[in-house]
Structure 1
Amino acid sequence: MSPRGRRPGGVDTRAAILDAARTEFADAGYDATSMRGIARRAEVDPALLHHYFGGKPQLFAAVMDIPVDPAALIGQVMQGPREELGSALVLIFLTVWDSPSGRERFQALIRSAVTHAEATRMLREFLVREIFGRILGQLYADGPAPTDVELRAGLAASQMVGLAMMRYIVEFPAVVQASRDELAGLVGPTIQRYLVP
């Protein structure tokens, strides 16, 4: 049962959670935002956040209009052979963003990140912690991780964001016209070197 005075689950509850999360992420950044804080701001039971979104990464993806569940993305990448991880990551990344709606969402996301310090910080923390940090965490779950694991996560993220900037924002002709497989073959080894030294 929801605590007294809380908004019951309903049609506008999901929107209230998204509004509260957007404000919390902007105020505190990705790392410092808690699901309980978002629930308090939205005046809902914290269980509703998990009901609608699953967890903080999925809620952030919904707030930023990222058309993919980060856990599902990581799962797809980690299913393949370890020696092809970099290429698989590039291929999946491009598959998500290459659709017309994906391209529009990415353009909006990057333009927001470039013009608003809060959006930049949220995106940076999300990429390093929830995408590349998790991939590296799974890669080295059974053995010692490189001592510079955060640097490697940041460098891998910089390659992916740079590629996306050239393909979707700057629209550099050769990068726009290249196939996903071609880009995965060219950029994948660099990502591989960062993630699997």
Structure 2
Amino acid sequence: MTAPARRPGRRPGPSSSRDDILAAARVLFGERGYDKASIRAIAREAGVDPALVHHFFGSKEELFASAMEFPVDPAVFLGQVMAGPRSQIGERLARTFLRIWSDPRLRPQFVGIFRSAATTEQGAALLREFVTRAILARVAEALGLPPLNLAAAASQMLGVVMLKYIVQVEPMASATEDELVALLAPTLQRYLEG
């Protein structure tokens, strides 16, 4: 006797459906970008009915905003960067940023954010909001630096992760963390010293 086929929709017992939908959305937004990741595909990846996606998130835009919430707390990230002498802040910034990006649990979400920022206004707004308010404004206040200096440092780091993790241009893609830190730290230090 075969077990009855499992139907999509609400699963019996404690539900992890919302988390499963978010995980599937992160993967598909990362792989396909906002426009090409459909609610149906996300539901299929999560093993649920598309109606359940709408039940939890309402719309694709709301699902995107929930799924693309940044996977690291800016306070923790900034705490690691700001701890220590100012003369080494460029190195700490490069090392912390690269270490976060190299984490295989976090990378799909970051890649999804970057790809969506390049292709949709929703993604661009999400990334812009996070970078300006959660990171640049806090560092500018803590270090007493002009925002342009911090934006230059951020553009340096974002360019590196774009080439290393998203476009995967060699030799950047296979460069070690130490190699990249050695190249980036002096430039970042110059920006962050004002």
**Count of residue pairs brought into register by the alignment:** 136
- Measured in 2, the distance between the counterparts of 1:62 and 1:138 equals 29
- Measured in 1, the distance between the counterparts of 2:166 and 2:100 equals 16
Q: Where in structure 2 are the equivalents of 1:1-197 lying within 5 Å?
A: 63-140=67-144, 145=145, 149-197=146-194
- Measured in 2, the distance between the counterparts of 1:102 and 1:189 equals 27
Structure 1 residues 81 and 151: alpha-carbon distance in aligned structure 2, compared to 1, 3 A threshold: same
How big is the shift at 1:190?
A: 1.3
- Measured in 2, the distance between the counterparts of 1:170 and 1:72 equals 28
**CA-atom RMSD, angstroms?**
2.5
- Measured in 2, the distance between the counterparts of 1:110 and 1:66 equals 11
Work out whether residues 156 and 191 of structure 1, in 8 Å CA contact, stay in contact via their aligned partners in 2.
yes
How big is the shift at 1:62?
A: 6.6
Q: TM-score, normalised by structure 2?
A: 0.62
Amino acid at match of 1:122: L
Q: What do the CA deviations read for 1:121-175 (whole angstroms, capped 9, x no partner)?
A: 22123212211221121112xxxx4xxx121122111111101000111101211
- Measured in 2, the distance between the counterparts of 1:101 and 1:71 equals 19
- Measured in 2, the distance between the counterparts of 1:171 and 1:99 equals 16
- Measured in 2, the distance between the counterparts of 1:159 and 1:109 equals 17
Q: TM-score, normalised by structure 1?
A: 0.62
How big is the shift at 1:63?
A: 5.0
Query: Any idea what SS the aligned residue of 1:172 has?
Result: coil
Unaligned segments of structure 2, at least 5 residues: 1-14, 23-64
Q: Which residue of 1 aligns with 2:44?
A: none
Unaligned segments of structure 1, at least 5 residues: 1-10, 19-60
- Measured in 1, the distance between the counterparts of 2:71 and 2:178 equals 21
Percent of aligned pairs with the same residue?
Answer: 43
Q: Which residue of 2 aligns with 1:50?
A: none
Amino acid at match of 1:92: T
Query: Any idea what SS the aligned residue of 2:105 has?
Result: helix
Q: Which residue of 1 aligns with 2:53?
A: none
